[in-house]
Amino acid sequence: MIVEAKTLKDGTVANKYETHLECDNCGMNVDAEEYASGTCSDCGEPWNEKRHMIIHVTSIPMSGQSS
């Protein structure tokens, strides 16, 4: 799941980021069905929550920045 960068109301920029959920036992991605059931269908074990968050540092041109 990728969340696009956006500018918040207070003017701060939230960087684009990507969340990634995988089974801690076998390393396979946890899909929506497995997420709902709590059991990894790849290894049959309950997957442990193991989140990765990858921050994409964006270099958005500061357009609209006028003096």
Site for Zn ion, rule CB under 5 A: 23, 25-26, 40, 42-43
Report, in Å, the least distance between residue 17 CB and Zn ion: 24
The answer to whether 41 and 33 are in contact (CB under 8 A) is: yes
By C-beta, is 4 or 31 nearer to Zn ion? 31
In the block, tokens 């270099």 appear at: 59
Report, in Å, the least distance between residue 43 CB and Zn ion: 3
By C-beta, is 46 or 54 nearer to Zn ion? 46
* Inter-CA distances, 65 with 12, 30, 61, 62, Å: 14, 42, 9, 6
Report, in Å, the least distance between residue 2 CB and Zn ion: 23
